[in-house]
Amino acid sequence: MDQPSDQGHRGNRSPTPACLLETSVTFINMSFALLAAMIVMRILEFAAVAASVKLPGEFPRVLMHAFLGDGAFYLRMLPVLLVPFCLLSLRTASPTIRVRGFLLLATPVMLLQFALVKYFITALTPLGADLYGYSFRDILTTIRTGGGVDLISIALLIVPLASLWFLAARFNRGPIAGPRVALALLAAGVAACGLDAMPDGAAYRRELAWNMAVNKLAFFTVKSRDYFLRGAGASGAEGTITAGKDGFKYLDPEYPFLRADETSDALGTYFRIDPAHPPNFVFLSVEGLGRAFSGPRASLGSFTPFLDELGAKSLTWENFLAAQGRTFAALPSMFGSLPFGEKGFNDLGERMPPHHSLLSVLKVNGYRSAFIGGFDLDFDNQRAFLKRQGLDLMVGMNDMDSKFARSPGRASSGASWGYADREVLMKALDVDARDKRQPFVTVIQTMSMHTPYAVPGQSEYFRRVDERIAKLRLSSSEKEERNNSKHIFSTILYTDDALREYFGAFEKRPAYANTIFIITGDHRLPEIPMSTRIDRYHVPLIIFSPLLKRAVSFKSISSHLDLAPSLTAFLRNNYGLRVPTAVPWVGSGLDTSIAFRNVHRYPMKQTIGDLRHYISGLYFLDEDVLYDVKDRMNIEPVEDEAKRKELLAEFDEYKARNALFARDLKLVPDRFMNEYR
């Protein structure tokens, strides 16, 4: 097609059918530059991932689905971009101005794609609607402390953009598609707008493979659409609440989670009990600690030698689950067994309704209480939750003494989340040394096992990683895979060492003999590729104490949501502590069966805006795909339509209760808030 010259064609043109057709053909030809730029960025994305982790064995399928998905997303973009292009182009026939108009539309698409791919390369999970659950301040903190600028990042930005700009001008001068092809592509684009075209999750054994296959901008737009269409909460639509489906005896339909506390004491038989001296508690919530790299039978080999030694003297749960895939819900889940609401319980801030938690129960019973974290306590609104529990002391990033050193942070900027784990643990020792009142509860939350994975003395821990890899007797490919994540494994070893030092110092104190230590991960860090869709929730639970009669390892499944119910029952049954008569707990208590089983059912919220996972018995639901759960939390897709519908009905009931709570914010009526037994 001959292109008009710049001269004499700068006035407005009438939008005749011929003119619209000519403009559409021009647009389609330049749009091939956008497709080419997307392909270039996809190739660079794969190269960047391959530079940091071992590509999954399903990579041929990943390639096929990736390029098919990119093509489908390109088609969906055509009608979306054509309308503004026509509005710009109908005012001129100048080829130069048309190219500039096209680039004005296509460049932001590629910049957004770059940002999403960059996030994925760092986190190995695509960004979805969880973005909307964070405050602007939290987003800035995450960006500032996240992955830095490197050659791969520069190439990922510059090369696709250069391809876009060069090819747009080239295809405009020498078109490769005529009117028939252009119209056919536009028709295909209109038809494709009704399809999400996401790869089938059940077709992949490893979550990383699916994450690589999906188009990151398509994923983000689909999740954003769902988020806003469902009322910004992804908490599920209100539906029918069927009493008795989960086995709990609910007390008031206006308070959807309120029930009688009937949790049995599963822990008392394992401890030496002195009713006159209730035990102290130290909770260690370790950022990113997953069972894949900690404890016996760890799938990646264990990189926590101290925790392994401690676990051998403790009560341990091999198949334990976090209730969330990020930190946003960790405190409410562990200490309150609370529902998620729309964007996590913490997001309610000052609107948090009256509720009970293990921390508030201990406070009522005279416990001294403290929370120690080396980060900004306002991140994820954690300060708001802690304040509601009535803690005596909260220590965050801005409350650390000058003798403690900040984490080295990101190499390119020095930005960090706050204080490294050793400093935080030493600060906790200082706090307990200054106030020796007993009984006490101390909660310590670490942060070193998080991007950018920079810790003091890291070169020494790199050497330790090499030693650990040698001890694990891995294959050459497994060694290569571990070395690709060497900076992450070095921080795991650092945190493990910090915990060893903390326990060594605490052991010399009089309070040690009457203290129960509870160690778990808030979630499994995602930057080491996950083997399955449940792997991100698979974390250790270690309960250690000098009061223990014996060490036992349990294979039964339990979760964070079971901690508060079980510990409250333990204190009520063995020490006569006053506990609430009615509670809004989602969990039902720890299972101490040494056989592999699951007597529980509960939801798991992957991100702030993504409530898609549910476990019931030995079945796991990922949206509407059913999996069979095996020992060590391995899962396999299973075809059982009756069971799938059963789990969907259970999950829908939770969502209905959760939606009612999110709407009315009712958990515990005033008449039960002060009723203890």
For 278-310, write each residue's pLDDT tens digit.
999 999 999 999 999 999 999 999 999 999 999
pLDDT at 548: 98
Q: Which residue has the higher pLDDT, 245 or 646?
A: 646
Query: What is the chain's mean pLDDT, rounded?
Result: 90
From the list 351, 342, 340, the residue with the least C-alpha distance to 230 is 342
End-to-end Cα distance, the chain:
86
> Is the pLDDT reported for residue 189 higher than 80?
yes
Rounded CA-CA distance 332/375 in Å is: 18
> Is the pLDDT reported for residue 117 higher than 50?
yes
Task: List, for residues 59-90, the tens digit of each pLDDT value.
Answer: 999 999 999 999 999 999 999 999 999 888 76
pLDDT at 652: 94
Task: List, for residues 195-206, the tens digit of each pLDDT value.
Answer: 766 887 778 878
With cut-offs at 50, 70 and 90, classify the pLDDT of residue 181.
Answer: very high
Rounded CA-CA distance 125/395 in Å is: 31
Task: List, for residues 214-223, the tens digit of each pLDDT value.
Answer: 999 999 998 8
Rounded CA-CA distance 173/307 in Å is: 65
- Out of 25-39, 145-159, 376-390, 508-522, pick the least confident: 145-159
Among residues of the chain, what percentage have pLDDT more than 70? Answer: 92
Task: List, for residues 623-670, the tens digit of each pLDDT value.
Answer: 899 999 999 999 999 999 999 999 999 999 999 999 999 999 999 999
- Number of Cβ within 10 Å of residue 64's Cβ equals 12
pLDDT at 599: 97
> Is the pLDDT reported for residue 142 higher than 90?
no
Upstream peptide bond of 452 is cis (omega within 30 degrees of 0): yes
pLDDT at 642: 97
With cut-offs at 50, 70 and 90, classify the pLDDT of residue 578.
Answer: very high
> Is the pLDDT reported for residue 13 higher than 60?
no
Q: Which residue has the higher pLDDT, 1 or 649?
A: 649
> Is the pLDDT reported for residue 153 higher than 80?
yes
pLDDT at 3: 44
Q: Which two tokens stand for residue 217?
A: 């901008």
pLDDT at 7: 40
pLDDT at 130: 83
DSSP code of residue 312:
T
Beta carbons of 56 and 213 less than 8 angstroms apart = no
pLDDT at 575: 98
pLDDT at 228: 84
Q: Which residue has the higher pLDDT, 403 or 362?
A: 362
Rounded CA-CA distance 156/590 in Å is: 47
Continuous segment of H or E residues that includes residue 315: strand 315-321
Mean pLDDT on 309-331: 97
> Is the pLDDT reported for residue 343 higher than 80?
yes
> Is the pLDDT reported for residue 147 higher than 80?
no
> Is the pLDDT reported for residue 4 higher than 70?
no
With cut-offs at 50, 70 and 90, classify the pLDDT of residue 391.
Answer: very high
Beta carbons of 178 and 25 less than 8 angstroms apart = yes
From the list 288, 299, 289, the residue with the least C-alpha distance to 481 is 299
Task: List, for residues 587-615, the tens digit of each pLDDT value.
Answer: 999 999 999 999 999 999 999 988 999 99
Task: List, for residues 512-529, the tens digit of each pLDDT value.
Answer: 999 999 999 999 999 998
Mean pLDDT on 529-550: 96
pLDDT at 8: 40
> Is the pLDDT reported for residue 45 higher than 80?
yes
> Is the pLDDT reported for residue 243 higher than 70?
no
- Angle at the Cα of 462 from the Cα atoms of 456 and 464, rounded to 5 degrees: 105
pLDDT at 198: 81
pLDDT at 5: 41
Beta carbons of 640 and 634 less than 8 angstroms apart = no
pLDDT at 254: 95
pLDDT at 566: 98
Task: List, for residues 461-480, the tens digit of each pLDDT value.
Answer: 999 999 999 999 899 989 98
Beta carbons of 600 and 588 less than 8 angstroms apart = yes
> Is the pLDDT reported for residue 57 higher than 90?
no
From the list 213, 179, 183, the residue with the least C-alpha distance to 197 is 213
pLDDT at 263: 95
pLDDT at 328: 95
Backbone angles phi, psi at 186, to 5 degrees: -65, -40
Rounded CA-CA distance 208/220 in Å is: 17
With cut-offs at 50, 70 and 90, classify the pLDDT of residue 232.
Answer: very low
For the four alpha carbons of 287, 288, 293 and 297, in that order, the dihedral sign comes to positive
pLDDT at 137: 72
Cβ-Cβ contacts under 8 Å for 638 (sequence gap 6 or more): 619, 626, 627, 628
Q: Give the DSSP per-residue string, 416-469.
A: -SSB-HHHHHHHHHHHHHH---SSEEEEEE--SSSTT---TTHHHHHHHHHHHH
pLDDT at 266: 98
Beta carbons of 563 and 543 less than 8 angstroms apart = no
